[in-house]
Amino acid sequence: MSAEKTNQSWGGRFSEPVDAFVARFTASVDFDKRLYRHDIMGSIAHATMLEQAGVLTAAERDAIIDGLQQIQSEIEAGQFDWRVDLEDVHMNIEARLTDRIGITGKKLHTGRSRNDQVATDIRLWLRDEIDVILAEITRLQEGLLAQAEQHAEVIMPGFTHLQTAQPVTFGHHLLAWFEMLSRDHERLVDCRRRVNRMPLGSAALAGTTYPIQREITCRLLGFEAVGGNSLDGVSDRDFAIEFCAAASLAMMHLSRFSEELVLWTSAQFNFIELPDRFCTGSSIMPQKKNPDVPELVRGKSGRVFGALAGLLTLMKGQPLAYNKDNQEDKEPLFDAADTLRDSLRAFADMVPAIKPRVEVMREAARRGFSTATDLADYLVRKGLPFRDCHEIVGHAVKYGVATGKDLAEMSLDELRQFSDQIGEDVFAVLTLEGSVNARDHIGGTAPTQVRAAVIRGKALLAER
């Protein structure tokens, strides 16, 4: 049976066509067609190199490049006929190129394999995706800096174990998320360096006998380095796993942020207001305003974690070099990148619109004896050992629980029953403002430090 009745790229070896179900089962074109732009980009660079190496004539190169550019226009106009029988994005484009320019189209694949072709396409695609994601991280950080600067003096309770711990400023709390996102940005920048290494030229697994010049395609495609081993070049998916690991950390951060936003918008906290455009209602409870964006981002984190686990499992048992298993790398990688990008975009749009309920936050900070540590520190400065101070303040808090009074609401006589070292000056440290202003060091919650951190943050973003 002729190759045309099986598959024009490899059908010569076979005596019967692939079963129709198997063809559908093994095809990847339904999801890898999104690589079309990068596949064409790689093919144009490959054709350019082949001409410089003397494998193609200038006329053949020009015909191939013109044909590929016309195919890209067809795809982007929605006029391209994607065929499952051609298996993947690569063969669909190559078959269409041959239809357009004849036998010259069949020369494009000289000196390469689908193995190094797909590895190149994925790296090119992921490189672009990382750039978009980095831009969204920066946009979200800009929103956090603006909010922190505006609300540097707004006081809220800080929590440990979800119990009121010490007063902090709202700006300081938001800058914690800025720091997390900075680490996410650093990880993805570093990951991009390892993504940006070129496998093209590895061919099927051993390299090629044609006189290719990999440095040319490396330069044309903007890669930072040429892959040093052909076996590794076609089978490596570390870069995809590393991206999913970095994406998982970023989604974990967004999920924690989401959890706080969900809590803060609840009637029990009522710390912030989210605009209606980021919320939905209930079909039967008309009073409901649900924080759907944070809830959904919190849920979507599991998809990205799953992509990481899936890719690790995919690769753990594979011998060198390329195996068909690797077809399963794309869907989880695509989904992880899409999910992270969209989650960051949603947060970058939403965060600048958050409105803190200043008085509610302040009242919450007044409850729960949030200045207890300040009283202990005050007594330490009077010369008492910290452990003794801790016990003294513990008794004061027990008294406050029994009488329903916060420390700042007690009279001097009430406070002095726990230590005669307490004087009139104690009330300066028991106020919320006194508490936050006292933490005036780098990384502290004092408004002056929040504003200084905002300046540093803006400088960091300006350097990117």
Domain co-membership, 325 together with 373: no
Give the domain extent around 413. 368-462
pLDDT of 422:
93
Whether residue 16 is found in the same domain as residue 35: yes
The helix-helix angle for 330-350 and 238-265 (nearest 10°) equals: 30
Same domain, 279 and 152: yes
Give the pLDDT confidence score for residue 10 in this predicted structure: 59
3-state secondary structure of 169: strand
Together in a domain, 237 and 336: yes
Co-location of 98 and 160 in the same domain: no
Select from 362, 381, 400 the last residue of a domain: 362
141: tokens are 């950080």
Give the whole-angstrom CA distance, residue 211 versus residue 220. 17
Please state, in angstroms and rounded to a whole number, the distance separating the CA atoms of residues 92 and 294. Answer: 40
Are residues 46 and 112 in contact, defined by beta-carbon separation less than 8 angstroms?
Answer: yes
Give the end of a domain, one of 362, 392, 412. Answer: 362
Same-domain check for residues 28 and 106: yes
Q: From the centroid of its chain, how far is CA 436?
A: 32
Q: Are residues 154 and 198 in the same domain?
A: yes
Where does a domain end: 344, 362, 380? 362
What domain count does the chain have? 3
Same domain, 131 and 95: no
Q: CB atoms < 10 A from the CB of 206, how many?
A: 12
- The CATH number linked to 431 is 1.10.40.30
Q: Please report, for the domain that includes residue 163, its CATH number.
A: 1.20.200.10
Catalytic residues, by residue number, are 161, 282
**CATH number, domain with residue 43:** 1.10.275.10
Pair 204, 313 in one domain = yes
In angstroms, rounded to a whole number, what is the distance separating the alpha carbons of residues 33 and 96? 14
Residues 10 and 92 grouped into a single domain: yes
352 and 372 belong to one structural domain: no
pLDDT digits (tens, 9 = 90+) for 128-151: 999 999 999 999 999 999 999 999
Query: Could you tell me if 95 and 122 are in contact, meaning their C-beta atoms sit under 8 angstroms apart?
Result: no
Q: How much is the pLDDT for 9? A: 63
pLDDT of residue 3: 41
Q: Is the same domain home to 133 and 41?
A: no
Q: pLDDT at position 7, please?
A: 57
pLDDT value of residue 8 = 54
Which pTM does this prediction carry?
0.92
CA distances to 41, 68, 90, 216 from 62, in Å: 14, 10, 19, 17
Percent of all residues in the chain with a pLDDT value above 70, rounded to a whole number:
97
pLDDT at 2: 41
Q: Which residues of the chain have pLDDT under 50?
A: 1-5
Burial of 170 (0-12, 13-18, 19+ CB in 10 A): buried
